[in-house]
Amino acid sequence: MRNLRYLVQPGGALCGHLRVPGDKSISHRAIMFGALAKGITTITGFLEGEDCLATLNAFRAMGVRIDGPEQGQVTVHGVGLYGLRAPDGPLDMGNSGTSMRLMSGILAGQAFDTVLTGDTSLTRRPMRRVTDPLTKMGACIETTVNGAAPLHIHGNQRLSGIDYLLPVASAQVKSCLLLAGLYAEGVTRITEPAPARDHTERMLEGFGYPLERENDRSVAITGGRQLTGRAIDVPADLSSAAFFLAGASIAPGSDLLLEHVGINPTRTGVIDILRLMGADIEVLNSRQAGGEPVADLRVRHAPLHGVRIPEELVPLAIDEFPALFIAAACAKGVTILTGATELRIKESDRIQVMADGLTALGIAAEPTPDGLIIEGGAFSSGTVESHGDHRIAMSFAIAALRASGPLSIHDCANVNTSFPGFVGLACNAGLQIMEQTP
């Protein structure tokens, strides 16, 4: 399936009701916390994508009984913080940076040695951002010369809490260190330069683990307490909804309702940025589900205009920028993004890969070291290389709504890491997309 391609016909509108799959970030954490808790954790809405299944299978390999997934239903029989067993071999995280970085924090506190590995893309991604602070806590982790996986994590290390200032806002690094803090003596305090996703903090509290939020940039926990199993309702993933928010905004005649979407305030940058560009997005039926705010999002076509994206919104939309770049390409005028160096170390260099794809389709796109300058225009027909990046592939599929001819998008198999069933849902909403295998 590595050569899977999307062929998308031009035009159309997105209409009707749609529920995208469960939130990837919350699904990962639900498995992790459920496994480390005492008692049973039941999960509904679990994302059955390859990334989250890598996390689930890792805990099975360490002796945790997990029933499911079956239509998003998972039951985790927790073993407590110290109940994991040594796996028989390396733990394969596939393409999931979240799995590898968060698991590093958990495994640093175990009594046994482990090896974390992954696919070619993941083993190129930087891991010193977690291994360096974990080492300060007392962990012993070997990496490649470039600071990448495989990670050889040595057990029986005595961890101590640290006071750590994150160099850049990163929910993955923050979460890794908080998870290691569960096993550390004393207090682990993490301070971030800007707010990043707080799913880990919310879930810690939901599983009964006390933490201290000292302000909107600092959180602290004390090691040695206990997690207690609970029920988790995973909302639909705003990062997956983002493709449809952008698509309905750019396609004339669109009127789409996205149901039960997580609107955690540390994640809603995509909504804020689209609204700055003139998008018509309504937040309806706001409510709580499993400790997370959710709502239905109604989006209708509206003329967009270019903006200078406020840097304070960048951490709140870091995974959604490929979709936002498509919206910017359809906006009148120029859109300027700065302060987004993090995009260069995702599943691909998303600044360069998106710039290359936009240029191939006739859009003026100038990459900068920390962002992108896009001048709105018209998409031509053409071919785009996604470089195996799921968000790149789905973003250019949405671009076909405003293209002059068919788009062929290559190397799309990794869409299943985050959005299984994307093609079927997109077709139901009105996108004319089909899969091809050469």
- Cis, bond preceding 90 (omega within 30 deg of 0): no
91, burial (CB in 10 Å: exposed 0-12, middle 13-18, buried 19+): buried
- Residue 256: closest CA among 316, 195, 297: 297
Q: What does the alpha-carbon distance between residue 74 and residue 42 come to, in Å, rounded to a whole number?
A: 6
Task: Please check whether residue 345 is in contact with residue 337, taking contact to mean a CB–CB distance below 8 angstroms.
Answer: no
Q: Which two tokens stand for residue 401?
A: 């709504």
Q: What is the DSSP string of 222-266?
A: ESS---B--EEEPPBPHHHHHHHHHHHHHSTT-EEEEEEEE--TT
- Please tell me the number of Cα atoms within 13 Å of 349 on its side-chain side: 11
Q: What does the alpha-carbon distance between residue 297 and residue 308 come to, in Å, rounded to a whole number?
A: 24
Query: For 426, which DSSP code?
Result: H
Q: How many Cβ atoms from other residues are within 10 Å of residue 300's Cβ?
A: 18
List of E strands, 290-412: 292-300, 334-337, 364-368, 371-375, 382-385, 407-410
Residue positions annotated with a catalytic role: 319
| Cβ neighbours of residue 203 closer than 8 Å, sequence gap 6 or more | 26, 29, 30, 33, 232, 291
Q: What does the alpha-carbon distance between residue 172 and residue 200 come to, in Å, rounded to a whole number?
A: 9
Task: Please check whether residue 374 is in contact with residue 365, taking contact to mean a CB–CB distance below 8 angstroms.
Answer: yes
Q: Which two tokens stand for residue 330?
A: 């359809």
Q: What does the alpha-carbon distance between residue 51 and residue 337 come to, in Å, rounded to a whole number?
A: 28
Q: What does the alpha-carbon distance between residue 282 and residue 257 come to, in Å, rounded to a whole number?
A: 9
